[in-house]
């Protein structure tokens, strides 16, 4: 099995990315004050800190990444948001520290395509979402054909079929979707 793909923290959180794609732009679209949210595959906290700002002191941010360097880098930046953010070195395939149906919004940005256990990660995302919750999932289109971590077009469509799609997009380098749980009426 291919190992999880990790990145140096500076590659994920740096001034150029902040300039071109400020984290608050995405977060302000989906996160409200007082909510419980989760940043899965959080890296060094590029979005986690903006999520903590958005939920405020009455909210909660769960952050998970199996790369201990990323979690250490995130923890160094937390400052007075320490009470709001619960960060763990954990795989998306096992988010046992996040209770069932507890989260209003899950961010899984560029994460699923860095691991092989896609179904387990998607199962965990669905498990932690409140019935009224939503998730933003994105995957890179840039991967070698035989890389089992990559998510191709067909698998992406199958992934979205497991949710109710609220909005989706296809960029040069990524595919993304804002999704909700499928409710049986
Ligand atoms: C492309 S980076 C994106 C980081 C962050 N979501 C962002 O947008 O800034 C992918 C992240 O997925 C993490 N990752 C790799 N395998 C993972 C797994 N099994 N579970 C959760 N995260 C994982 C990596 O450590 C890395 O931080």
H/E/C letters for each residue in the chain? Answer: CCCCCCCCHHHHCCHHHHHHCCHHHHHHHHCCCCCEEEEECCCCCCCHHHHHHHHCCCCEEEEECCCHHHHHHHHHHCHHHCCCEEEECCCCCCCCCCCCCCEEEEEEECCHHHCCCHHHHHHHHHHHEEEEEEEEEEEECCCCCCCCCCCCHHHHHHHHHCCEEEEEEECCCEEEEEEECCCCC
Give 144's pLDDT tier (boundaries 50, 70, 90).
confident
Tell me, using a 6 A CB cutoff, whether residue 9 lines ligand 1: no
Task: Catalogue all structural domains in the chain, each as residue range(s) with its CATH number.
Answer: 20-180 (3.40.50.150)
Instruction: Name the residue of 7, 65, 87, 121 to mutate for ligand 1: max ligand atoms within 8 A of Cβ.
Output: 65
- pLDDT tens digits along 94-131: 999 999 999 999 999 999 999 999 999 999 999 999 99
More confident call, 128 vs 143: 128
pLDDT reading at 184 higher than 90: no
Is the shortest distance between the CB of 133 and ligand 1 below 6 Å? no
Q: Is pLDDT above 80 for 133?
A: yes
pLDDT band at 183 (very low <50, low <70, confident <90, very high): confident
**What's the pTM value of the predicted model, to 2 decimals?**
0.97
Q: How far is the CA of 184 from the centre of ligand 1 (A)?
A: 32
pLDDT digits (tens, 9 = 90+) for 75-93: 999 999 999 999 999 999 9
What's the CA-to-centroid distance between 44 and ligand 1, angstroms?
9
């Amino acid at each position: 099995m291919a190992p999880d793909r990790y990145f140096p923290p500076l590659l994920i959180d740096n001034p150029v990315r902040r300039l071109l794609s400020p984290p608050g732009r995405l977060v302000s679209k989906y996160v409200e004050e007082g909510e419980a949210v989760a940043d899965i595959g959080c890296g060094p906290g590029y979005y986690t800190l903006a999520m903590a700002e958005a939920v405020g002191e009455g909210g909660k941010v769960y952050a998970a990444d199996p790369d201990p360097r990323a979690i250490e880098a995130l923890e160094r930046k937390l400052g007075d948001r320490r009470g709001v953010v619960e960060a763990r070195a954990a795989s998306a395939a096992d988010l046992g520290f996040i209770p069932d149906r507890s989260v209003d919004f899950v961010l899984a940005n560029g994460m699923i395509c860095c691991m092989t256990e896609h179904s387990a990660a998607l199962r965990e995302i669905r498990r932690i979402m409140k019935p009224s919750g939503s998730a933003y999932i994105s995957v890179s289109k840039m991967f070698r054909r035989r890389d089992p971590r990559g998510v191709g077009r067909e698998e992406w469509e199958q992934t979205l079929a497991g949710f109710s799609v609220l909005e989706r997009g296809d960029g040069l380098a990524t595919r993304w979707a804002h999704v909700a749980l499928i409710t049986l009426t």
